[in-house]
Amino acid sequence: MTSNALKINVNSEIGKLNAVILHTPGAEIQNMTPENAERALYSDILNLHVAQNEYKQLSGVLEKVTKTYQVRELLEDILKNNRVKETLIEKICKNENVSFQKCALDELDNKELARQLIEGVLLKKETLSDFLSKKRYLLQPLHNFFFTRDAAISINEKVLIARMANNVRERESMIMQAIFDFHPAFSTTTINPIEDRFFSENIKIEGGDILVAREDVLLIGIGSRTTSQGVDFILRRLKEKKMNMSIIVQELPLSPESFIHLDMVFTFLDKNKCMIYEPIITRPNKYQTVLISVDNGKVKISEKTNLLTATKELGFDLEPIYCGGTEDSWIQQREQWHSGANFFAFAPGKVIGYERNVYTIEALSKHGFEVLKAEEIINDKVHPDNYDKCVVTIAGSELSRGGGGARCMTMPINRENIEW
DSSP per-residue letters across 264-330: GTEEEEETTEEEE-HHHHTS--S--EEEEEEETTEEEEEEES-HHHHHHHTT--PEEEETT-SS-HH
Q: Is the pLDDT of residue 203 over 60?
A: yes
Average pLDDT over residues 301-329: 96
Residue 34's pLDDT is what?
61
Determine the average pLDDT of the residues in 129-155: 91
Predicted local distance difference test score (pLDDT) of residue 42: 54
Q: Give the model confidence (pLDDT) of 330-359 as tens digits.
A: 999 999 999 999 999 999 999 999 999 999
pLDDT of residue 31: 73
Q: What is the pTM of this model?
A: 0.95
**Beta strand pairing status for 137-139 and 210-214?**
unpaired
Among residues 311, 332, 323, which one has the least CA distance to residue 353?
Answer: 323
User: Using N-to-C axis directions, what is the helix angle for 358-366 and 329-337, rounded to 10°?
Assistant: 110
Average pLDDT (16-34) is: 89
How remote is the C-alpha of 174 from its chain's centroid? Answer: 15
Q: Range with the lowest mean pLDDT among 119-133, 139-153, 252-266, 290-304? A: 119-133
Q: Could you tell me which residue, 234 or 33, shows the higher pLDDT?
A: 234
Average pLDDT, stretch 314-319? 96
Q: What is the pLDDT of residues 263-282, one digit of tens each?
A: 999 999 999 999 999 999 99
Section 163-168 average pLDDT = 92
Q: What is the pLDDT of residue 409?
A: 98
**Do residues 262 and 252 lie in contact, with contact meaning Cβ atoms separated by under 8 Å?**
yes
pLDDT of residue 60: 98
Average the pLDDT over 15-36 and give the result.
87
| Residue ranges covered by each domain of the chain | 6-415
Do 324 and 331 form a contact (C-beta atoms < 8 A)? yes
Whether residue 3 is predicted with pLDDT greater than 80 in this model: the reply is no
pLDDT score at 43: 55
pLDDT of residue 92: 97
pLDDT at 126 over 80: no
For the residues 363-375, what does the mean pLDDT come to? 98
Predicted local distance difference test score (pLDDT) of residue 241: 85
Stretch 117-134: mean pLDDT? 85
Predicted local distance difference test score (pLDDT) of residue 38 = 53
Mean of all residue pLDDT scores within the chain: 94
Examine the pLDDT at 16 and tell me if it is beyond 60. yes
CATH number belonging to domain 6-415: 3.75.10.10
Query: Which of 321, 338, 346, 341 shows the shortest CA–CA distance to 410?
Result: 346
* Distance of alpha carbon 195 from the chain centroid: 21
Reported confidence tier of residue 401, pLDDT bands at 50, 70, 90: confident
What was the pLDDT predicted at 29? 87
In percent, the amount of the chain with pLDDT more than 70 equals 96
Which residues are registered as beta bridge partners of 304?
289
Statement: residue 201 has pLDDT above 90: yes
* Residue from 252, 244, 251 nearest 214 by CA: 244
pLDDT at residue number 134: 80
pLDDT of 2 higher than 70: no
**Statement: residue 12 has pLDDT above 70:** yes
Top-confidence residue, 211 or 31: 211
Q: What is the reported pLDDT for 243? A: 87
220 with 209: CB under 8 angstroms? yes
Bond before 25 cis per omega within 30 degrees: no
Q: Is the peptide bond before 384 cis (omega within 30 degrees of 0)?
A: no
pLDDT category, 36, cuts 50, 70, 90?
Answer: low
User: Is the model more confident about 68 or about 166?
Assistant: 68
